[in-house]
Structure 1
Amino acid sequence: MDLLALADFNLVAVHGGFGRASRASGQPKATLSRHVRELEDSLGVRLIERGSRTLRLTEEGAVLHARTGSRIGEIAEALQDVKAGLGRPSGRLRVSVPMLFAHTSLGPLAAAFRDAYPEVLLEASSDDRFVDLVAQAFDVVVRVNPPDSDLVGRCFLRNRQVLVAPPGLARPAAAAQAGPPARFPAVMRPGVSDDKPWHVVDEASGQEAQFHPQAVLRLASPLSIRDAVIAGAGAAMIPRSIAVDALASGRLVSWGLSAEPAAEVWVLHGSQRLVSPKVRAFVDFVCDYFDKEAKRDVLTQG
């Protein structure tokens, strides 16, 4: 079977006609028609019913398109790499990352990746929703605690939550058994209840403690919450990755790490076998980038 003819068949099927497929790909309409006809001849079945104004896939054509359409682009790209004898990363790479990752890490990461792979055009967008790679034409997604799916990839960062406070805020003492728990002013996200205590582990002693927040301010962005705590509004539970600099400089103090498991940050892609050079390069680069960051080494401890 001619895989290029198969790719042209899927192109016509996706666009719903030879004319639209020709305009989208830049290939002559006659070339697309000839490739599809050659594919039909090689299979011995008709794949497309051609009308004067309409085009319809036959039952066999619909089956072939359903089973090959999502992978043919990767196959064609791999064939081109092998044929050229290159296998080096090149072309456009579309990536979706969470908003917080975009604000804190994407800029320097993207610049470093550009230096390492100048033939790859990295195009990143930020979205906290779990996007559909095929439907939205993304090559890679970065997500926190991703749900089970058909995507594959690697976890490159484990990020604990830390209870931080401004240096001038007194740390609550342990409550007496007979009295109500001591509450403290807290900056929290909208919709998060302050009825439940925050359980933390002291980083030095390993002892567990619990603190009872009293919401005095609610902000949606973790970065805004951090900045409000630095300004003295109260204490807050935030990702340690965005608190490390303020903790090191003394603008924030830690009351302990959250007892909850660390959040896992994954870089994911859709193919399990045919991974294009640009996708493989980006996945490896992200993992190596965070491994080499001394700051990230501190963040992943514990």
Structure 2
Amino acid sequence: MDRLQSMAVFVRVAELGSFSGAARQLGLSKSAVSKHVTALEERLGVRLINRTTRRLALTEAGAAYRDYCARIVQEVEEAELMAMQHSAAPRGRLKLNAPVTFGFLHLGPLLPEFLTRYPGVEIELVLNDRFIDLLEEGFDLAVRIGQLADSSLIARRLATTRSICAASPAYLARAGIPREPADLARHNCLRYSLRRERDTWSFRRGAEHVAVKIGGNLEVNNGDALRSAALEGLGIVCLPDFIIGEDLERGLLQPLLPDWQTPESPIHAVFPPQRHASGKLRAFVDFLVEKLGRKDGWSGGCRRAGREAS
């Protein structure tokens, strides 16, 4: 067997902790993956992986060998890509993940321009609001909003967003306008169920920080659905400017609590280290930085609301 291919297969098994997972990502059968690892063990004369019916675990020798193999495989990939980039434009398939509303409103509309610029690239875009494991599910890149957890993924900052409290004029005419964060406790607040603290909204005014317990009769795991409910006059939302910016600009929603700000959230592109050398991935990340990094807010309405709140 080709030793370099066997090393690449072993690295993927070690990353995923699974022969079947590595087989799916590499387009091989599970038995072929097992044969590659066995061939390495026979060549080295040591066991690299302890196998049980429940789990795989690297041996001490396997862990050390994995680190060397990962560097070698990555350097070979980088050398090949560097040589290819001198004579060829980015090409190949990119599998991307993004939150539903952000992907629909801001990522999807950019793809035709990118694909026109790089006709050799194919894109599969998967939109969902759950946290996905890039390696396990075979994604090249994900767009993530909010503070990132520590991980082995490489992150590149694209833009920032800030949530804005808002409601329709009809709701405010009926229920009154909250003047302070504490007033929200008396209002019907529409909650995003995937937030870490979905029953608490936090605000800052200078050095003053306030966390308010809120409640309401609607909780949804999608921001655009909450936006629709707010437009119908059901209650108050606290949603990112990239979702409700146009509504604020058109006066369909009215920004609230102008003296208070919510925490700013970064928007990152994240990708596994072994994808970093990919010309198609670098081209796409650079494109996102070009298109999203120069935004001064997400609409005129967002910029006005942000200035009023500062």
Question: Same fold judged by TM-score > 0.5?
Answer: yes
Corresponding pairs, count: 266
1:22-46 CA-partner distances (Å, limit 9, x unpaired) = x957xxx9xx99xx99x99xxxx92
Matched with 2:249 is 248
Q: Shift of residue 100 of structure 1? A: 3.0
- Work out whether residues 10 and 69 of structure 1, in 8 Å CA contact, stay in contact via their aligned partners in 2: yes
Matched with 1:226 is 227
Matched with 1:78 is 78
Runs of 5+ in structure 1 lacking a partner? 50-58
1:184 to 184, 187, 190: 187
> Structure 1 residues 211, 149: closer, same or farther in 2, change over 3 A?
closer
Distance of 1:272 and 1:193 partners within structure 2: 35
- Work out whether residues 97 and 141 of structure 1, in 8 Å CA contact, stay in contact via their aligned partners in 2: yes
1:1-302 to 2 correspondence within 5 Å? 5-10=2-7, 13=10, 46-47=43-44, 62=62, 66-68=66-68, 70=70, 74-84=74-84, 85-86=86-87, 88-144=89-145, 145-168=147-170, 169=172, 170-173=176-179, 183-190=186-193, 199=203, 213-256=214-257, 259-271=261-273, 275-293=277-295, 296=298
Distance of 1:166 and 1:60 partners within structure 2: 61
What's the Cα RMSD here? Answer: 4.5
Which secondary structure state, in structure 1, belongs to the residue aligned with residue 135 of structure 2? Answer: coil
- Work out whether residues 81 and 88 of structure 1, in 8 Å CA contact, stay in contact via their aligned partners in 2: no
- Work out whether residues 96 and 124 of structure 1, in 8 Å CA contact, stay in contact via their aligned partners in 2: yes
Which secondary structure state, in structure 2, belongs to the residue aligned with residue 150 of structure 1? Answer: coil
Q: Shift of residue 103 of structure 1? A: 2.8
- Work out whether residues 8 and 73 of structure 2, in 8 Å CA contact, stay in contact via their aligned partners in 1: no
Q: Shift of residue 143 of structure 1? A: 1.1
Which secondary structure state, in structure 2, belongs to the residue aligned with residue 215 of structure 1? Answer: coil
> Structure 1 residues 249, 96: closer, same or farther in 2, change over 3 A?
same
- Work out whether residues 230 and 251 of structure 1, in 8 Å CA contact, stay in contact via their aligned partners in 2: yes
Runs of 5+ in structure 2 lacking a partner? 14-18, 47-58
Higher radius of gyration, 1 or 2: 1
- Work out whether residues 75 and 274 of structure 1, in 8 Å CA contact, stay in contact via their aligned partners in 2: no
1:130-157 CA-partner distances (Å, limit 9, x unpaired) = 4333333322221122211122222112
Range 152-161 or range 85-94, more displaced: 85-94
Residue type at the aligned position of 2:78: A
> Structure 1 residues 253, 294: closer, same or farther in 2, change over 3 A?
same
Which secondary structure state, in structure 2, belongs to the residue aligned with residue 242 of structure 1? Answer: helix
- Work out whether residues 193 and 219 of structure 2, in 8 Å CA contact, stay in contact via their aligned partners in 1: yes
- Work out whether residues 159 and 295 of structure 2, in 8 Å CA contact, stay in contact via their aligned partners in 1: no
Distance of 1:181 and 1:46 partners within structure 2: 68
1:42-74 CA-partner distances (Å, limit 9, x unpaired) = xxx92479xxxxxxxxx8994686235555664
1:142-200 CA-partner distances (Å, limit 9, x unpaired) = 11222111222221121111010111313135699xxx997223222359676x67646
- Work out whether residues 142 and 265 of structure 1, in 8 Å CA contact, stay in contact via their aligned partners in 2: yes
> Structure 1 residues 79, 61: closer, same or farther in 2, change over 3 A?
farther
Which secondary structure state, in structure 2, belongs to the residue aligned with residue 275 of structure 1? Answer: coil
> Structure 1 residues 272, 296: closer, same or farther in 2, change over 3 A?
farther
> Structure 1 residues 208, 149: closer, same or farther in 2, change over 3 A?
closer
Residue type at the aligned position of 1:140: L
> Structure 1 residues 183, 132: closer, same or farther in 2, change over 3 A?
closer
Structure 1 runs of 4+ with >6 Å offset: 207-212
Provide TM-score, normalisation by structure 2: 0.67
- Work out whether residues 163 and 200 of structure 1, in 8 Å CA contact, stay in contact via their aligned partners in 2: no
- Work out whether residues 102 and 243 of structure 2, in 8 Å CA contact, stay in contact via their aligned partners in 1: no
Q: Shift of residue 77 of structure 1? A: 3.6
> Structure 1 residues 121, 65: closer, same or farther in 2, change over 3 A?
farther
> Structure 1 residues 63, 163: closer, same or farther in 2, change over 3 A?
closer
